């Protein structure tokens, strides 16, 4: 079974600075995907970024980048130039390839951006 670990307590970052949110995963699969989702206080789940296990380059989407270290089984999310609207809970998730695979989420990290 796959497992996601997000152990950071509530995180704080100053507006316009960069922040890294940690995610480690446990899987014995060779082919899998890693996802990050954002949940603001309004409650919706917003997809941010995806990284495939065979992707050699780190994924980037605007101010979001994924620092993928396969040997260490980590998939940290880096948010550059933090904005007040980045204050939210961030979830890391993984899914293995194959039939009947499911998206497994971590517990989430709450990020607060200070003005």
Partner 1 sequence: DTAVSQTPKYLVTQMGNDKSIKCEQNLGHDTMYWYKQDSKKFLKIMFSYNNKELIINETVPNRFSPKSPDKAHLNLHINSLELGDSAVYFCASSQAYGVSYEQYFGPGTRLTVT
Interaction residues for partner 1, span 67-106 (CB under 8 A):
89, 91, 95-103, 105
Residue in 11, 20, 50, 78 binding partner 1, rule: CB under 8 A: 50
CB 47 within 8 A of CB 33: no
Stretch that binds partner 1, among 13-21, 45-53, 65-73, 79-87 (CB under 8 A): 45-53
Answer positive or negative: Cα dihedral of 28, 29, 30, 36.
Answer: negative
Question: Is residue 8 a contact point for partner 1 (CB under 8 A)?
Answer: no
Question: Is residue 35 a contact point for partner 1 (CB under 8 A)?
Answer: yes
**Count of beta carbons in the 10 Å neighbourhood of residue 23:** 28
Nearest approach in angstroms of CB 16 to partner 1 is 27
Between 38 and 79, name the residue whose CB sits nearer to partner 1.
Answer: 38
Nearby residues of 32 by Cβ (< 8 Å), 6 or more positions away: 2, 52, 53, 94, 95, 96, 97
């Amino acid at each position: 079974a796959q497992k996601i670990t997000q152990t950071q307590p509530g995180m704080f970052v100053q507006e316009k600075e960069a922040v890294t949110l940690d995610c480690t995963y446990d899987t014995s699969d060779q082919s899998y995907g890693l996802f990050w989702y954002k949940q603001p206080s309004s409650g919706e789940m917003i997809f941010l970024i995806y990284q495939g296990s065979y992707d050699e380059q780190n994924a980037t989407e605007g101010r979001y980048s994924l620092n993928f270290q396969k040997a260490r089984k980590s998939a940290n999310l880096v948010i550059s130039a933090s904005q007040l609207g980045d204050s939210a809970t961030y979830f890391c998730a993984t899914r293995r390839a194959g039939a009947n695979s499911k998206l497994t989420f971590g517990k989430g990290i709450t990020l607060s951006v200070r003005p």
